[in-house]
A = this chain, B = another copy of it.
């Protein structure tokens, strides 16, 4: 069971170092059009995409997104915003006296819409030889991010994606191994993995890492990622955005 599209989805990996070659205007349009053509709840396109072209703003974003300078070097930089504002504004323009305020359900639906569109953009770019990297850190620093991107209420960064052609070194980089199916798929109902299963799941996934040790790996990952300053900041910041919807 294989075809060109399955191969492309399998081969795609994040690219964080880009060549100097630009993303052309035609390529940019193809990437954006693929995003628009993604499935979207009720054909609403509950997102706005910011195309970041200003180098100073790119530098600000690189700083606000956990200080990742490679973001500045992106040839195309798109911020996918969950937008719960466009449709209520259109309702008002159409004479609906008082549409309800957007709630947390609207936000989560718009987050899904935005991420689904973003993944189509990523797949389209890949088909053109253009690599990409998601920047989840765009959720951090709500106050400064709102100011930098002029975000009004009910508009929340869902993800940022940076694009550019991979260097040879990036092309050669091995894609990290994913979990096997039984680690992340359950039949019908949710069941926790047992501690023994977790050890096996992570150990199989770590097969390509040098001298993988479950305890050491998870302890270090927890410290470096889950319990890091940026991760705590992400939850503080997300709560700021959520306040609009509660």
Contacts and interface: CB of A to CB of B under 8 A. Distances in A.
Instruction: Please classify the interface of chain A as helix (H, G, I), strand (E, B), loop, or mixed, using the class held by over half of its residues.
Output: helix
Contacts of A107: 238
B34 A124 contact: no
Contacts of A172: none
B6 A190 contact: no
Contacts of A68: none
A94 to B, nearest CB: 3
A54 to B, nearest CB: 5
A167 interface: no
Given A123-B9, A238-B107, A192 B96 contact: no
A39 to B, nearest CB: 5
A60 to B, nearest CB: 10
A222 interface: yes
Given A33-B10, A50-B190, A41 B111 contact: no
Interface in A202-246: 202, 214-219, 221-222, 225-227, 231-239, 242, 245-246
14 contacts: A1-B26, A38-B119, A42-B225, A49-B184, A51-B186, A57-B189, A90-B198, A93-B214, A94-B215, A104-B239, A108-B234, A115-B119, A150-B190, A242-B242
Interface of A: 1-6, 8-10, 12, 14, 26-27, 29-30, 32-34, 36-43, 45, 47-54, 57, 81, 85-91, 93-96, 99-100, 102-109, 111-112, 115-116, 118-120, 122-124, 126-128, 132-134, 136, 139-140, 148-152, 155, 158-159, 176, 178-179, 181, 184-193, 195, 198-199, 202, 214-219, 221-222, 225-227, 231-239, 242, 245-246
